[in-house]
Every structure is written in C-alpha cells, then in structure tokens.
Amino acid sequence: MPQQDTVLKQGELITAVTLPKPLGGKHFYEKVRDRASYAYALVSVAAVIQPDGTGRVAFGGVAPRPWRVEAADALLPHGAAAVTARAFQGATPTKDNAFKLPLATRALASVIAEAKA
C-alpha cells in the first residue's frame, strides 16, 4: 500500500527495534544532492553487496518511503541498469522528476563499482 506510510495502528507505540544479524558484504549509502550537505536526496541508494555480486538495494528520493523490490535485488549481479529496470517497472514520473530514474541507475552503478574496487 504505497499510500500507507506506517503499520502502526491507533494507540500503538514503538517500544523497541530489533535489528537483524549483520549480513556481511560491503555496506553503502550513496546520497545524491545539489549541495554537499543540508539537502534532501534527489536520489539515494543504500546497498549491501556480497563478494559474489549478490546483495540488497533500497532507493530513496523516488517514493514516499524507501523503495525496495526484492525481485530487483536478484538482478544485482547483472548490473545497475537491470536492477533499476525491475525496481522502477511501471513507475510514472512527471516531467520534473523523470531524471531520477536514470540518476538512480548511475548512483547504483557507482555503488556496484565501489563494491568491486
């Protein structure tokens, strides 16, 4: 439900956050913006990349919440373009934010390149 930003129901509070065990691999957060600090991301990419090129990726700045598509994760070994093609399948950008789709691809490409470095 993209319009639903929380699973909390009326009267519920967050009392604790349990983090999963570390996944291994290299961890990245790439934030793209028009100035060096104090700006919202135009696009951001968070990723965990394993030595074999598999991993997980989430995108920011493209939806009302961090954007994850598990089927896209599976395409990480095929490169950034394959991942974003799947992750943003059916996206309906406007004239003013259409640049975010190719920008996300390039941002993810920078992460994949760094993982290989």
Residues that bind other proteins (CB under 8 A): 32-39, 42-43, 79-81, 99, 102-103, 105-110, 112-113
Q: Looking at beta carbons only, is 74 or 81 nearer to other proteins?
A: 81
What is the nearest approach in angstroms of other proteins to the Cβ of residue 37?
A: 4
Q: What order of strands is seen across the sheet that includes strand 26-32? A: 26-32, 43-49, 55-60
Nearest to 58 by CA among 27, 35, 34: 27
Q: Looking at beta carbons only, is 65 or 78 nearer to other proteins?
A: 78
What is the nearest approach in angstroms of other proteins to the Cβ of residue 51?
A: 20
How many angstroms separate the CA atoms of 110 and 53, rounded?
14
What is the nearest approach in angstroms of other proteins to the Cβ of residue 65?
A: 20
For tokens 């990726």, what's the residue?
57
How far does the chain reach from its first CA to its final CA, in angstroms?
38
Q: Looking at beta carbons only, is 58 or 111 nearer to other proteins?
A: 111
Q: Looking at beta carbons only, is 23 or 39 nearer to other proteins?
A: 39
How many angstroms separate the CA atoms of 23 and 14, rounded?
24
